[in-house]
Structure 1
Amino acid sequence: MSEETQDDLVLYEVDEDGVATLTLNRPERKNAWSIPMENRFFALLDEAAQDPAVRAVIVTGAGRAFCPGMDMQRLEQNSQPGQSLNLRARVPMYSRRTLPKPVIAAINGACAGIGLVQALICDVRFAARGARFTTAFTRRGLAGEYNLPYVLPRVVGLENALDLLLSGRVVDADEAKELRLVSRVVEPDQLLDAARAYARDIARNCSPRALAVVRHQVYGDLDRTFTDALARSYSAMEFFAGSPDFREGVASFVEKREPKFEGLPPDFDPADATRDAFLPY
């Protein structure tokens, strides 16, 4: 079996606290993105979504890089005259944005192009000091790919997004934090520990149903009006009022103990919490 079809292109482990870690695992290619890696990566995200034992997900890279973008060998093939790009045969890049569990990026090194897209799909981003970021597209003769011209302004603001997209310049982790591209910068040898501590705190103390609904609310409300989002919020409030999770959350606070929330059932649909949106006035 060739390297490009092996399951170890992305490693997967779940710890006792319910934190799943996905590790991009082509260190000899600095974890450059390939289609087999893409298929494996999204299949594992699906597995994490369906596993009630998993409460949070970390995405990181093996070795010294996170993901520097699409494998240059594939880029060279696609750049030849007469070559076409068959995106219809690919996994839709943002199809897992509806994953009902928090996703945390632990960016350990170079993060560019489609690698930056994967980092931005995550909800929270930790970066190792010294990690380097670039959109890279204009420097490869490409337009803004994979919807980054839409996503990036919503993360870093319009001018910062234009700066990064137009120039394709490289920024280090500390500047990335100033630009709001990442929220935490830690020393390289502390990166995974910091990301895991954050994920484990969520896994131990937060209701999986509430996490799923909050993630659904935030991403779903990005393009809604204030009034529509408010109506969905009231519906979610009604959904959780008197629920077992709410009762356990209050009881654990009063009793000064960790809550014992049930895992997320595979068939749980966070849209149910906001489906009958209403305003009480």
Structure 2
Amino acid sequence: MTIGTAHTADGDSVLVRHERAVAVISFNRPRVLNAMTLGMARAYAGALREADADPAVRAVVVTGEGRGFCAGADLSVLGGGAEEIRRFLPPREDLPDLALRLRKPVVAAVNGPVAGIGFAYLLGSDIRYAASDASISTSFARMGLVAEYGVSWLLPRVIGTPHAMDLLLSGRTVGATEAARIGLVHHVTDPGELLARAVDHAAELAAACSPASLAAIKAQVYADLERTRTEALAGALTRMDASFDGPDLTEALAARAERRPPVFPPLSPR
């Protein structure tokens, strides 16, 4: 296991460690429940890109240090007026939907309060774990804001329009049990087991699944959200035909015949 720190321009950081082909990225401002600064947002985006480019990394886990996942934008930013808030906005390429564009699966481990931009980071992950004592809120309506960072497009696709309207219009806080019931998170665990369970899940994807398949399926699913059924089927047939000639199918069949784990090649750097 290796551990590193990605420092930001304003002295905050995200932590990055590697375990079993998984990059674990942690927001690291625990004293303020990992409230986001622009430098921290850029550091997180940079850590995601590094994980995506590293052939040794096959999956990503994102979590928060201390008692929180990410409680939203830093209050000093919000209290600085409109121009200060505009300066806070990450550049387009660093926005929370970056995780959706990664080739590798991103697993969130929600260890405490989530709100605002933290909610967008949560929603941008592919698989979501939550500690049983986690609390999640969109918070936008209660701050006089709109549904930010593309949440209005993605949230109804994740949990359905009725549940999305409830969370967005009320800005209320939901616990992990309700979040699981409406499909906002996939798994609820004891707080002490949260990160280990999320890393285990990511490590299983890394060990058992073809990186090329994971990348293709992830791109396929998110692209198909904007396509008709006919377009999605046509795209699937094209992708299927290409996969039949791929080396990973050959390796998977050989591994099954020989009763051994498959050895899939890593993704090449972009």
Q: What is the TM-score with the length of structure 1 in the denominator?
A: 0.89
Q: Secondary structure of 2:80's match?
A: helix
Residue identity (%): 42
Letter in 1 for 2:16: Y
1:12 to 13, 16, 20: 16
Please tell me whether the aligned partners of residues 97 and 121 of structure 2 are also in contact (alpha carbons under 8 angstroms).
Answer: no
Q: Which runs of 4+ in 1 moved over 6 A?
A: none
Structure 1 distance, partners of 2:221, 2:90, is 28
Distance 1:255 1:126, change over 3 A: same
- Name the counterpart of 1:256: 259
Structure 2 distance, partners of 1:118, 1:63, is 17
Structure 1 distance, partners of 2:79, 2:116, is 15
State yes or no: 1:85 paired with 2:86.
yes
The Cα of 1:21 is off from its aligned counterpart by 0.3
Please tell me whether the aligned partners of residues 132 and 191 of structure 2 are also in contact (alpha carbons under 8 angstroms).
Answer: yes
> Which region of structure 1 is more displaced relative to structure 2, 246-255 or 108-117?
246-255
The Cα of 1:95 is off from its aligned counterpart by 3.5
- Name the counterpart of 1:187: 190
State yes or no: 1:51 paired with 2:54.
yes
Distance 1:65 1:92, change over 3 A: closer
2:143 to 133, 140, 156: 140
In the alignment, structure 2 segments of 5+ residues that lack a partner are 1-6
Q: Secondary structure of 2:264's match?
A: coil
The Cα of 1:33 is off from its aligned counterpart by 0.7
1:114 to 103, 113, 117: 117
Q: What is the TM-score with the length of structure 2 in the denominator?
A: 0.93
Distance 1:35 1:169, change over 3 A: same
Q: Secondary structure of 1:85's match?
A: helix
Distance 1:83 1:69, change over 3 A: closer
- Name the counterpart of 1:215: 218
Higher Rg: 1
The Cα of 1:251 is off from its aligned counterpart by 1.2
Q: Secondary structure of 1:185's match?
A: strand
Please tell me whether the aligned partners of residues 65 and 110 of structure 1 are also in contact (alpha carbons under 8 angstroms).
Answer: yes
1:39 to 42, 46, 54: 42
Structure 1 distance, partners of 2:58, 2:100, is 16
Q: After the TM superposition, which residues 161-240 of structure 1 pair with which residues of structure 2 at under 5 Å, given as runs?
A: 161-240=164-243
Measured on the aligned residues, the alpha-carbon RMSD in Å equals: 1.7
Structure 2 distance, partners of 1:76, 1:6, is 18
Structure 2 distance, partners of 1:175, 1:188, is 16
- Name the counterpart of 2:29: 26
> Which region of structure 1 is more displaced relative to structure 2, 163-172 or 140-149?
140-149
Distance 1:24 1:109, change over 3 A: same
Structure 1 distance, partners of 2:85, 2:108, is 32
Distance 1:88 1:191, change over 3 A: closer
The Cα of 1:257 is off from its aligned counterpart by 1.3
The Cα of 1:7 is off from its aligned counterpart by 7.2
- Name the counterpart of 2:4: none
Distance 1:8 1:251, change over 3 A: farther
> Which region of structure 1 is more displaced relative to structure 2, 82-91 or 32-41?
82-91
State yes or no: 1:105 paired with 2:108.
yes
